Amino acid sequence: MMSTIRPRQADVLASYDRGADSYETLWSPVILPPAAALVPSVVRTSDWVVVDVGAGTGALHGTLSAIAPTARLVALDLSANMLRMARTHRGATTVLADALALPLADSSADVVILAYVLFHLADPAQALAEAARILRPGGRVATITWAWERGPCAAAVWDQFLTDANVPPAPLRCVNAGLDRPSDVAALLRSAGLTTEQIRCERLSHQWDPPAFWKLANEAGTNGIRLGGVDAATRTDVLARMQAGLTRLAPRDFLWEGEVICAVATKDVARRPARCRPLPGRTGRSPAGQGTLRVAAMTSARDNRPLVAELPVHQPIARRDHRSMTAGHLA
Ligand SMILES: C[S@@+](CC[C@H](N)C(=O)[O-])C[C@H]1O[C@@H](n2cnc3c(N)ncnc32)[C@H](O)[C@@H]1O
């Protein structure tokens, strides 16, 4: 049963926009292996269209390119700062958009990946419904969610120092309830018309060294937001006390552990896709009223299916527009 308390999109976005650097250098390498291991299960042919929803800094781009060098890879995310890294570090084609309203045509993708994204969303079922909508019948979706995660003791110490200094808690940005058991994930996929092909759990652990932990603790998005909520003098004082407190901890206090649920599901062939609309070449205003649309259709390499069009603007497409457009924002 999906929890009714879900993260607010603005909080999630603010934390990733703020913490893109530390995500890329510190956290992404820790959680990448299970996601990379899923790719061969879903990407089988080079000329496919693969949409990485919530692609972040494009961590999967290298694996995807190695397995399918000529595939059309689209890295879609709501955080402009995360996507900037996907472009500059990995040369990814990026689309700034909401996972809950994908600016992509029906049946336009062969594969959709949602790695470490669903638990951030206000409506994970809607994201899967959108994934199913843009998948062709027989296309595959891969998801990764947390079964559980146990932060290092050092993180609890860090939190306690801030709580003792009356720093307000960080905003909620991750809710695992309803996504933390294989049966729940399979049920959610099923509700979107997706049949689970494989689902497995994998344990992860990471031994932080104190300097890396310190950097992550201070620079990760939510922590940065939390620290940003106090005046400079209080922050300096709390940070000094926290650093002294952390030096008293043992190496085991810096051990992080977690378990992920990795799932692959197929869009039922019997489920009739909505009819693809013709992709018009057109010029107009962006949904946000800024910038001229230059709609140059990107089509799938295989059969010219409309995929996404180029919009040289940087606003997410408004929800009301996404079904009437076969266009997306190339961020
Ligand atoms: C934990 S990161 C995962 C990034 C990438 N999939 C990976 O495995 O490294 C979660 C990503 O989801 C993105 N995200 C959160 N809410 C989103 C939404 N509503 N639409 C699109 N992306 C979203 C965040 O901006 C962030 O980049």
Closest atom of ligand 1 to 20 CA is: 27
Token couple for 192: 């979107």
Mean of all residue pLDDT scores within the chain: 83
Contact of 30 with 256, CB cutoff 8 Å:
yes
Strand ranges, E, within 176-311 = 194-207, 255-267, 283-285, 292-294, 297-299, 306-309
| pLDDT score at 67 | 93
CA of 250 relative to ligand 1 center, distance in Å: 33
Inform me whether the pLDDT recorded for 245 exceeds 90. no
CA neighbor of 219 nearest in space, from 9, 83, 15, 8: 15
| pLDDT score at 284 | 29
CA neighbor of 192 nearest in space, from 102, 103, 260, 326: 102
Instruction: Answer whether 15 contacts ligand 1 (Cβ < 6 A).
Output: no
Q: Give the whole-angstrom CA distance, residue 187 versus residue 2.
A: 11
Closest atom of ligand 1 to 144 CA is: 8
| pLDDT score at 3 | 58
DSSP character string of 147-171 = EEEE--HHHHHHHHHHHHTTPPPPP
Could you report the per-residue pLDDT of 119-139, keeping only the tens digit for each?
999 999 999 999 999 999 999
| pLDDT score at 1 | 54
Three-state secondary-structure class, residue 300:
coil
Could you report the per-residue pLDDT of 36-83, keeping only the tens digit for each?
999 999 998 778 999 999 999 999 999 999 999 999 999 999 999 999
Inform me whether the pLDDT recorded for 233 exceeds 50. yes
Pairing mode, strands 283-285 and 292-294: antiparallel
Model pTM? 0.84
Question: Which residues 6+ apart lie within 8 Å of 276 measured at CB?
Answer: 105, 106, 107, 108, 305, 306, 326
Q: Between 3.40.50.150, 3.40.190.10, 3.40.50.720, 3.40.710.10, what CATH number should domain 9-151+170-231+254-269 receive?
A: 3.40.50.150
Q: Give the whole-angstrom CA distance, residue 140 versus residue 142.
A: 7
| pLDDT score at 4 | 81
Inform me whether the pLDDT recorded for 189 exceeds 60. yes
Q: Select the more confidently predicted residue: 270 or 63.
A: 63
Instruction: Answer whether 79 contacts ligand 1 (Cβ < 6 A).
Output: yes
Strand ranges, E, within 211-313 = 255-267, 283-285, 292-294, 297-299, 306-309
| pLDDT score at 224 | 79
Instruction: Answer whether 55 contacts ligand 1 (Cβ < 6 A).
Output: yes
From the CB of residue 97, how many other CB atoms can be counted at a distance below 10 Å? 24
Instruction: Answer whether 54 contacts ligand 1 (Cβ < 6 A).
Output: yes
For residue 223, report the phi and psi dihedrals to the nearest 5 degrees.
-65, -40
Could you report the per-residue pLDDT of 283-314, keeping only the tens digit for each?
322 333 232 222 233 434 344 444 544 433 33
DSSP conformation class of 269: T
| pLDDT score at 319 | 32
Instruction: Sketch the domain layout of the chain as residue ranges.
Output: 9-151+170-231+254-269
Q: Give the closest residue (by CA) to ligand 1 atom 8.
A: 115
